[in-house]
């Protein structure tokens, strides 16, 4: 799904949730960002968007403003039908909740996220130790992230010094930002590099200067079919095969990209994954604690043991 489509669906959902009455199509086209073109084009977009939201499990009610008159139908999402039930959660639902909280805590709103986490855990009658996110914590480069997001919203060019991993010096880059996303624990900017006349991916932690935003606005357009993930999946990496013992029903982060799985005994499964590096595999092993055992390669297993011994000594 393209970034423009995703943004429009979010805008539509928020508008229909916030409205206390049924919104007519004309109001939606006027107030919800993302609907443009001819009346016929907007009509088609809206019909597809309704289907997409319903396929996601979001209930959209259709009714007229006044049941006594046959006026134009309106649309609304009732808050009670949109809320996530917090009682009797399955293991998968607990992991989804943990993932959402972990991503929010990595977004620069740590204090707000911490308070929300406590309230959610209390309402769901859960202990924090019961939750295992599907993802590892994402490194936060808060200042860069904020500035790039601002430029992206304004469709303004940005300039910054960027150091490639195989270089000791930095280079000035001028970029039209097209999207921001995380990839394997790091934030990336995808945008048009004006100096190289090509779309490139930039790791935010390698930006080594202040980001300067052009004063010009609406300098470029982002194609409707543009998707950040299409560019991030092409990042080159040498993968390392890792063999794990995983407790049954646990470690969904590893299971989500496993190459092979077989039952080891009544308590454990044996799985194979490909990781970007031994370092990342060690971090995942520590992150999952007693839910997994890193079995092979020997080098990675020994590093996990050493790290656990170091942690134990620090807390004696």
Please say whether the dihedral angle defined by the alpha carbons of residues 305, 307, 311 and 316, taken in this order, is positive or negative: positive
Tens of pLDDT, residue by residue over 188-223, are: 899 999 999 999 999 888 888 999 999 999 999 998
Tens of pLDDT, residue by residue over 55-81, are: 888 888 888 766 555 667 889 998 888
- Quickly state the pLDDT bin for 21 (edges 50, 70, 90): confident
99 within some domain: yes
Confidence (pLDDT) at 118: 63
Q: Are residues 159 and 225 in the same domain?
A: yes
Q: How many CA atoms lie within 13 A of 140 on its CB side?
A: 13
137 within some domain: no
Listed in sequence order, the residues at least 6 apart from 82 whose beta carbon sits closer than 8 Å to its beta carbon are 17, 58, 59
Q: Which two tokens stand for residue 274?
A: 């490909």
Percent share of the chain, pLDDT over 90: 26
**Span of 95-99, 275-279, 289-293 with lowest mean pLDDT:** 95-99
Of the residues 181, 198, 232, the one at which a domain ends: 232
286 within some domain: yes
Of the residues 181, 213, 232, the one at which a domain ends: 232
Percent share of the chain, pLDDT over 70: 74
Q: Are residues 255 and 187 in the same domain?
A: no
Q: Are residues 265 and 246 in the same domain?
A: yes
CATH number at residue 216: 2.30.30
Who wins on pLDDT, 140 or 315? 315
Residue 101 has pLDDT above 70, yes or no: no
CATH number at residue 20: 1.10.10
Confidence (pLDDT) at 243: 94
CA-closest candidate to residue 266, choices 249, 248, 288, 245: 248
Q: Are residues 247 and 174 in the same domain?
A: no
Confidence (pLDDT) at 96: 65
Confidence (pLDDT) at 293: 93
Of the residues 82, 116, 150, the one at which a domain ends: 82
Q: Are residues 148 and 226 in the same domain?
A: yes
Please say whether the dihedral angle defined by the alpha carbons of residues 251, 291, 286 and 279, taken in this order, is positive or negative: negative
Confidence (pLDDT) at 134: 47
Domain that holds residue 29: 3-82
Residues 72/64, Cβ–Cβ less than 8 Å: yes
Which of 4-13, 132-141, 212-221 has maximum average pLDDT? Answer: 212-221
Question: What is the average per-residue pLDDT within 34-51?
Answer: 90
- Quickly state the pLDDT bin for 290 (edges 50, 70, 90): confident
Q: Are residues 208 and 259 in the same domain?
A: no
Confidence (pLDDT) at 211: 92
Q: What total number of domains does the chain contain?
A: 4
Confidence (pLDDT) at 63: 83
How does DSSP classify residue 207?
A: B
- Quickly state the pLDDT bin for 175 (edges 50, 70, 90): very high
> First-to-last CA distance in the chain?
50
148 within some domain: yes
Confidence (pLDDT) at 281: 87
What span, in angstroms and rounded, lies between the C-alpha atoms of 186 and 106?
Answer: 10
Considering all CA atoms of the chain, what is the largest pairwise distance in Å, rounded to the nearest integer? 76
Q: Are residues 124 and 156 in the same domain?
A: no
135 within some domain: no
136 within some domain: no
70 within some domain: yes
Confidence (pLDDT) at 234: 64
Q: Are residues 293 and 220 in the same domain?
A: no
Q: Are residues 59 and 121 in the same domain?
A: no
**Span of 48-52, 124-128, 194-198 with lowest mean pLDDT:** 124-128
Question: What is the average per-residue pLDDT within 38-61?
Answer: 89
Q: Are residues 99 and 155 in the same domain?
A: no
Helix 91-105 to helix 110-124 angle (10° resolution) is 160
Classify burial at 43, counting beta carbons within 10 Å of its beta carbon; exposed 0-12, middle 13-18, buried 19 or more. middle
For the chain, what is the mean pLDDT?
Answer: 81
Confidence (pLDDT) at 67: 57
Confidence (pLDDT) at 229: 80
Who wins on pLDDT, 237 or 140? 237
Q: Are residues 223 and 252 in the same domain?
A: no
Question: What is the average per-residue pLDDT within 222-246?
Answer: 80
**Span of 45-54, 93-102, 131-140 with lowest mean pLDDT:** 131-140
Q: Are residues 258 and 205 in the same domain?
A: no
Confidence (pLDDT) at 159: 96
């Amino acid at each position: 799904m393209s970034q423009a489509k995703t943004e429009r669906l979010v805008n539509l959902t928020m508008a229909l949730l916030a409205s206390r009455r049924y919104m007519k199509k004309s109001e939606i086209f006027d107030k919800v960002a993302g609907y443009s073109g001819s009346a016929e084009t907007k009509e088609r977009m809206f019909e597809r968007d309704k289907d997409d939201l319903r396929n996601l499990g979001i209930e959209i009610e259709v009714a007229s403003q006044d049941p006594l008159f046959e006026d134009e139908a309106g649309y609304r999402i009732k808050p009670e039908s949109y809320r996530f039930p917090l009682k009797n959660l399955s293991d998968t639902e607990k992991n989804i909740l943990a993932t959402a909280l972990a991503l929010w805590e990595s977004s620069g709103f740590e204090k707000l996220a911490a308070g929300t986490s406590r309230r959610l855990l209390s309402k769901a009658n859960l202990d924090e130790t019961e939750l295992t996110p599907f993802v590892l914590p994402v490194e936060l480069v808060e200042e860069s992230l904020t500035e790039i997001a601002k430029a992206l919203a304004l469709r303004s060019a940005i300039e910054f010094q960027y150091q490639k991993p195989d270089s000791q010096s930095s280079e000035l880059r001028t970029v039209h930002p097209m999207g921001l996303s995380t990839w394997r624990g790091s934030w990336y900017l995808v945008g048009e590099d004006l100096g190289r006349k090509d779309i490139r991916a930039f790791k935010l932690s390698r930006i080594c200067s202040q980001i300067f935003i052009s004063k010009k606005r609406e300098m470029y357009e982002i194609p409707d079919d543009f998707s950040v993930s299409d560019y991030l999946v092409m990042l080159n990496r040498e993968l390392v095969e890792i063999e794990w013992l995983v407790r049954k029903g646990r470690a969904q982060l590893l299971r989500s990209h496993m190459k092979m799985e077989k039952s080891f005994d009544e308590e454990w499964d044996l799985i194979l994954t490909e990781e970007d590096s031994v370092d990342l595999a060690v971090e995942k092993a520590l992150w999952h604690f007693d839910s997994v055992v890193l079995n092979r390669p020997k080098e990675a297993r020994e590093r996990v043991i050493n790290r656990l011994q170091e942690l134990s000594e620090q807390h004696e």
